[in-house]
Structure 1
Amino acid sequence: MTTVAERAKDLVKVDRRDGKLALAHIYVAFIALAIGGLCGLLQTLVRSGTFTLPWGIGYYQILTVHGVLLGLVLTTYFIFGFQIAAVSRTSGTLTDKQRMLGWVGFWVMTIGTIASATMVLLNQASVLYTFYAPLQAHWIFYAGLALVIVGSWIGGAGQIGKYIEWRKANPGQSSPLLTFMVVVNLSMWIVCSLGVAVEVLFQLLPWSLGWVDKVDVLLSRTLFWYFGHPLVYFWLLPAYMVWYVVIPKVIGGKIFSDALARLSFMLFLLFSIPVGFHHQLVEPGISSFWKFLQVVLTLMVVIPSLLTAFSMFATFEIRGRALGGKGVLGWFKKLPWGDARFLVPFIGMAAFIPAGAGGIINASHQMNQLVHNTIWVTGHFHLTVATTVVLTFFGAAYWLIPHLTGRVLTKQMNKLAIIQAIVWAFGMSIMSGAMHIVGLFGAPRRSDFSTYGGSAQAAEWIPYQIAQAVGGTILFIGIVLVLYIVANLLWFAPKGETEFPVGEISENAEKTPMALENWKIWLTICIALILFAYTVPVIDMIQNAPPGSKGFKLW
């Protein structure tokens, strides 16, 4: 039976000032979801050949809005809001300086986001979220991107500062698991975003301003994918934080192993960055040896993924059996399937099984030849970030927002949240499934219907394009539902106390080795892997750059 002291511990509140900072990020995230989701619906309708955009709006214009707002803005802002609250909850209230860094970072990011979004909406930056050269955007778009990156570094510094402060005050002790995970994710983000910062500041921005005539396209793509693949894990690791730390508490269990959780995060840090070439397997100018090396490193992330799957299902089984579950799968029935805080992220976990299998195909040189640059890749992307990550974020929002606003998730909203997740899973199964199938037939990604609408081959693709539109429409209904729930939790839900669930470590878990928090070791290995994987090929790109591309030179 829960004691009064335990209940008080469970209801430790994030400081109101920290909560206000976290909520500011969450507001922007869900505004991005509303606008980006509408553009996603329009995309699928255009691709089906049944809809023409009005008022001279271009297909690539809405495609860029959709990709930038959902792939970059929604994810980054929600992650920062969640991480700020998580650090405050587990390591203590932020200092005035740390909170100030958070607000400065927020406003720098927001100014950059508004600047970039304005250029996209004015059709001056319809370059997709990858903004590949030789597609060129207005210089304000690139300047805005630079501000978003710099703002994230400033905001992240406040969170890392809290971790450093805690370690100094508690020498020889393992830091709070959730705070440790936040610092790993931020470390990965800072290291990988250096690549895109260099690309934007030293190549694309001078080029768009007319200071140079050309850029080295291969080098710019390499710098982007040095950032672009770790970006996937920047999205994914906060979902893992919820799985590892929050879900055990939600189901009434305990964290299976603190050490295993920390090890899996450190392995993601090591193996998520030096792998960008697996997105460039069909590009000339990169030696097959370096492509092979990075494919091997890419597949190494299977290890922490399997560690996570083992840890989570061990937690589920132990709890289910404690509740009386018998037989091989009897424990499975005992899990709280009627609790949206559990069910919604669990659907995301389940989606990660086919998503991970698709990722192995994308990263494998021979199989990649079949699916590269087809809409299969888009379908994979929607299973990973748009299902696994986004559903976990929704599930987290259902307790995080009421915790920060002093409200409660009512039974009615809990039921609606479950319906929303089922609607989302159903719509995504149709849309992503159609993308995967027609991708195997060679249907290209990033193309509107008018590009190939008259060909005989395109006629075979039409049913799948229509299926995408049907799935996209169902997904948009899911977006409307989640926005309704979020609005309720922000302004209309009954006042009350909602806990920020943080699981306790199982008493049977092995003691966590302090070596897992020896940052000198792990960052040294990380940097060594990056230098090994990138130094020689990047030098080769610069030395053998096409005449007139000028590399990094600004004159």
Structure 2
Amino acid sequence: MIGDKLSLKKQDSSMVMAFMWVTFISLLVGGLMGLLQTLVRTGKFNLPFGIGYYQILTVHGVVLGLVLTTFFIVGFQFALMIKTVGITTAQRKWAWASFWVMLIGTVASATMILLGKANVLYTFYAPLKAHPIFYFGLTFVVVGSWIACFVNFNQLFKWKKKNPGKHSPLLAFMVVINMLIWLISTLGVAATVLLQFIPWSLGLVDSMNILVSRTLFWYFGHPLVYFWLLPAYMAWYGILPKIIGGKIFSDSLARLAFLLFLLFSIPVGFHHQLLEPGIDPFWKYLQVVLTFAVVIPSLLTAFSMFATFEITGRQKGYTGLFGWFKNLPWKDVRFFAPFMGMVAFIPAGAGGLINASYQLNQVVHNTIWVTGHFHLTLATTVILTFFGISYWLVPVLTGRKLNKKINNLGMIQTVVWLIGMLFMSGSMHIAGLLGAPRRSAFSNYQGSEQAAEWIGYQYGQAIGGSILFIGILLMLYIFIYMAFLAPKGVEEFPIAELPTGAEPTPWVLENWKLWVGIAVVLILFAYTVPFIDIIQNSPPGSPPFGWPIGNGS
């Protein structure tokens, strides 16, 4: 069995909905900033009130890439844990604590960005310097998420104590894996913020080791992608089979895929630093190999999902080579939106292989191609799946039903999103191949020989951004309708089950000490020697974590 399906009490629903409200407010704010960016890049639009381009660029990246995703994921995962393993009064209090600590940090960082005192972009690379409150805010967001991690760990621990000899519920197992990835990877960004950026921004030190800070950031930055992606995989493995009327294809394969993500998602940050000096090429190559290893669990997932679709269709009596495919519930937005996210992951994954390649990366490095890839992975695959989850999760939390009106409007919203992203991401990919830089406003290269070649694709991005903003407004209307106006009733919390007589899951897949131990060994192997090299080969006389950066080095 996957696990007991427990009910969500009113106080549980209120807590999860608090995370959802922050999510959708972030969607509006971040989406508006994205629209303004695309308009500015056409060279035909100027920002009002003295607002700077890099100010809105920072808001867009931080609010959508960090705030929206983290709040949705933590809230969604709390819902999964409560439904499968339960929650105690003390755990619920700590869950609320995680929400408030994250929210305080978000407000603090966002305020500094909006005041123009933290125009440091999503990656906040030094020597760009923000107000100290910005860095303290980021610290609060991370600490709040750590509280959520330990609540989730404690929920599964208590369930295991009450159910000796039983396998963890699949979705609870997946949540703990994702939170382990998050906890381990955020140690890097916490270290650079606490030990480098905060002392520097406070004026306590006047130096920083740039390469150390970037290495610590990307130790976190790439696992962040899988922290976003794995909740979508949770929905694909553990929710979609129920929605289509089927069963989980293989509990063992699902757990193995998540364990492989734990092993291969963290020791790969150097593939974001392939063109940076100061890192030995051998260690870059090693981490590129580990990056490509992440393809394996993704292919396992693709096989598992389509096996589920086909088996379900054939059990329902659909014949022919593709009869099962034609008869999937295409008019059910709870299936359609996540499925289209899966489809988008095909070109997104291919682009990821190019980004991670030691040779091909040099063609697209620091071009807007990378931004286009980002919009296919996070802004299409992940976000469409999150939207698909919202269509049943919000009614579950508010005691309402997903009616035909909202289902049909959700179908329209999904199509609008796909069209907008086709223009947006497609234009970014093509312009990137032509050399258009990322992170740059039109004014940065206006008048150059290449500008005329890129301008058409800048208009394509503006068209895509405008269509996507319409999709955002539609989604916000849908969210508010589901929260307040939809017919009252009981909506199903769809948790898939294993087929009768399924093969038992090997116990080695739940040996936490083994898998966490292997992950730690891989991380130490991939980072220890090159990190020591980075510190030892800093300029003479510089401290281990610093060298002067006032000259822009």
Bucket of the pairwise TM-score, normalised by the shorter protein:
over 0.9
Equivalent-residue separation in structure 2 for 1:183 and 1:17 (angstroms): 23
| Partner residue in 1 for 2:135 | 142
Structure 1 counterpart of 2:358: 365
Q: Give the CA deviation at 1:231.
A: 0.1
Residue 533 of structure 1 is aligned with which of 526, 532, 552? 526
Q: Is the 8 A contact 2:401 2:486 kept in 1?
A: yes
**Once the 2 structures are TM-superposed, how far is the Cα of residue 329 of structure 1 from its aligned partner?**
1.0
Q: C-alpha displacement at 1:507, in angstroms?
A: 2.5
Tell me the amino acid that sits aligned with residue 33 of structure 1.
L
Tell me, in whole angstroms, the C-alpha distance in 2 between the residues paired with 1:265 and 1:275: 16
Query: 1:158 Cα shift?
Result: 1.1
Task: Decide which of 268, 272, 285 is 1:279's aligned counterpart.
Answer: 272
Which residue identity lines up with residue 34 of structure 1 in the other structure? L
Pick aligned residue for 2:32 from 20, 31, 38:
38
Work out which of the residue numbers 468, 478, 486 in structure 1 matches 2:461.
468
Partners of 2:431 and 2:346 in 1: how far apart? 20
Query: Structure 2 CA distance, aligned partners of 1:220 and 1:548?
Result: 18
- Counterpart in the other structure of 1:24: 18
Change (3 A) 1:435 1:448: same
- SS of residue in 2 equivalent to 1:366: coil
Out of 383, 390, 410, the residue aligned to residue 390 of structure 1 is: 383
2:247 maps to 254
Structure 1 equivalent of residue 414 of structure 2 = 421
Output the amino acid matched with 2:201.
S
**3-state SS of 2:208 partner:** coil
The CA deviation at 1:96 is 1.3
1:373-401 per-position Cα deviation (integer Å, ceiling 9, x unaligned): 00000000000000000000000000000
Q: 1:427, 1:445 → 2: CA distance?
A: 19
Q: Which piece of structure 1 moves more, 458-467 or 95-104? A: 95-104
Distance 2:541 2:93 in 1: 45
Paired AA for residue 457 in structure 1:
Q
Corresponding residue for 2:122? 129
Corresponding position of 1:483: 476
- Where 1:365 maps in the other structure, the secondary structure is coil
Distance 1:549 1:405, change over 3 A: farther
Which residue of structure 2 lines up, in the alignment, with residue 520 of structure 1?
A: 513
Contact 2:139-2:193 within 8 A present in 1 as well: yes
Match of 2:344 among 347, 351, 359: 351
SS of residue in 2 equivalent to 1:500 = coil
Match of 2:397 among 399, 404, 424: 404
Task: Please give the alpha-carbon distance, in whole angstroms, between the structure 1 residues aligned to 2:5 and 2:212.
Answer: 51
Judge which range, 306-315 or 327-336, deviates more.
327-336
Residue 113 of structure 1: how far off its partner (Å): 0.5
1:174-230 C-alpha deviation (Å, 9 max, x unpaired): 110000000000000000000000000000110000111010011100000000000
Quick one: distance in 1 between partners of 2:373 and 2:170? 30
Please give the alpha-carbon distance, in whole angstroms, between the structure 2 residues aligned to 1:291 and 1:458: 33
Q: Retained in 2: the 8 A contact 1:206–1:554?
A: no
1:324 Cα deviation after fit: 2.4
User: Is the CA contact 2:400–2:490 (under 8 Å) kept in the aligned structure 1?
Assistant: yes
CA contact (8 A) 1:229 1:272 kept: yes
Q: How far is the alpha carbon of 1:320 from its aligned partner?
A: 1.3
Q: Distance in 2 between matches of 1:87 and 1:315?
A: 24
Task: From 78, 90, 102, give the equivalent of 1:84.
Answer: 78
Aligned to 2:551: none
Distance 1:496 1:11 in 2: 19
Uncovered stretches (5+) of structure 2, i.e. residues with no partner:
549-553
Question: Using the alignment, how far apart are the partners of 1:82 and 1:15 within structure 2?
Answer: 15
State the TM-score, normalizing by the size of structure 2: 0.97
Q: Secondary structure at the match of 1:387?
A: helix
- Deviation, 1:160, is 1.3
Q: 2:486 aligns with which of 479, 493, 510?
A: 493
Q: 1:554 to 1:434 in 2, by over 3 A?
A: closer
What is the Cα-based RMSD across aligned positions, in Å?
A: 1.4
Are 1:433 and 2:417 counterparts?
no
Q: What is the letter of the counterpart of residue 122 of structure 1?
A: L
Cα deviation, 1:10-60, whole Å, max 9, x if unaligned, reads 985312222111111111011100000000000000011121101100000
Q: 1:315 aligns with which of 308, 314, 332?
A: 308
Contact 1:10 1:500 in 2 (8 A): no
Q: Which amino acid aligns with 2:351?
A: G
What CA distance in whole angstroms lies between the structure 1 residues aligned with 2:357 and 2:173?
A: 32
CA spacing shift, 1:41–1:10, aligned 2, 3 Å: farther
Q: Which moved more, 1:420-429 or 1:320-329?
A: 320-329
Pick the aligned partner of 2:9 from 5, 9, 15.
Answer: 15
4+ residue runs over 6 A deviation: none
The answer on 1:111 being equivalent to 2:104 is yes
Note if contact 2:102-2:140 (Cα within 8 Å) is conserved in structure 1. yes
Alignment partners' CA distance in 2, 1:259 and 1:22 = 29
What is the aligned counterpart of 2:536 among 522, 526, 543?
A: 543
- 1:279-311, Cα deviation, whole Å (9 max, x unpaired): 000000000000000000000011000000000
CA contact (8 A) 2:423 2:463 kept: yes
Q: Give 1:325's aligned residue.
A: 318
Q: Is the 8 A contact 1:13 1:499 kept in 2?
A: no
> Structure 1 residues 334, 282: closer, same or farther in 2, change over 3 A?
same
By how many angstroms is 1:547 displaced? Answer: 4.5
Q: Answer whether contact 1:12 1:499 (CA < 8 A) is retained.
A: no
Identity between Structure 1 and Structure 2 (%)? 66
Q: 2:113 corresponds to which letter in structure 1?
A: V
CA contact (8 A) 1:545 1:551 kept: yes
Distance 2:263 2:284 in 1: 17
Q: Does residue 445 of the first structure (1) align with residue 438 of the second (2)?
A: yes
CA contact (8 A) 2:417 2:467 kept: yes
